């Protein structure tokens, strides 16, 4: 009784092995590209002719550690994020979203110095700490009063 099961099992392994290799190869080929370092680096203010539009409202427990300003130039809108103190938050990523972090677009990594990031029409910027696995602050792109 075990011998026929072994034969079937051996046959299925020989049939499925090439099939799984093909499916795996197609999945690797069709995956999205990982952004390169050049795409994640903030925009240099000196290379742009930009003007200050407004100071931005920051929400969150760590708002005393950051400042943010919205700038406008010939290449579009940019957000300037500056640390106000030495950051104890390693691996901070900058996202832009219309609502939740799950639907956000990665703008780049925050390295703890003044940086500029190009922004679209989505109204919220989120700084997320990978090390602490939590959202640090939310920045509203609406003009503060």
Where in the chain are the domains?
A: 1-31, 37-143
| Confidence (pLDDT) at 114 | 76
- Between 2.60.120, 3.30.870, 3.30.70, 2.60.40, what CATH number should domain 37-143 receive? 2.60.40
Structure token digits, residue 125: 């910027």
| Confidence (pLDDT) at 22 | 93
In this structure, how many other beta carbons lie within 10 angstroms of the beta carbon of residue 130?
12
| Confidence (pLDDT) at 59 | 63
DSSP string, 10-77: HHHHHHHHHHHHHHHHHHHHHSPPPPPHHHHSPBPGGGS--EEEEEEEEESTTGGGEEEEEEEETTEE
User: What does the alpha-carbon distance between residue 107 and residue 36 come to, in Å, rounded to a whole number?
Assistant: 12
pTM: 0.59
| Confidence (pLDDT) at 64 | 61
Q: pLDDT of the chain along its 145 residues, tens only?
A: 688 889 999 999 999 999 999 999 998 888 876 655 445 455 555 555 666 666 775 766 665 677 888 888 777 788 888 887 766 777 888 898 888 888 888 888 887 777 778 888 878 888 888 888 888 888 887 754 4
């Amino acid at each position: 009784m075990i011998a026929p099961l072994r034969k079937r099992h051996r046959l299925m392994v020989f049939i499925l092995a090439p099939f799984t290799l093909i499916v795996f190869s197609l999945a690797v080929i069709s995956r999205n590209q990982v952004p390169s370092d050049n795409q994640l680096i903030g925009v240099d203010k000196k290379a742009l002719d930009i003007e200050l539009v407004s100071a931005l409202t920051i929400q969150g427990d760590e708002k005393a550690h950051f400042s943010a300003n919205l700038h406008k130039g010939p290449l579009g809108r940019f957000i300037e994020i500056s640390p106000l103190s030495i950051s104890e938050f390693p691996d901070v990523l900058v996202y832009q979203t219309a609502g939740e972090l799950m639907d956000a677009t990665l703008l780049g990594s925050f390295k703890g110095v003044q940086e500029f990031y190009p922004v679209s029409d989505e109204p919220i910027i989120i700084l997320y700490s990978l090390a602490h696995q939590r959202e640090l602050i939310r920045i509203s792109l609406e003009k503060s009063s």
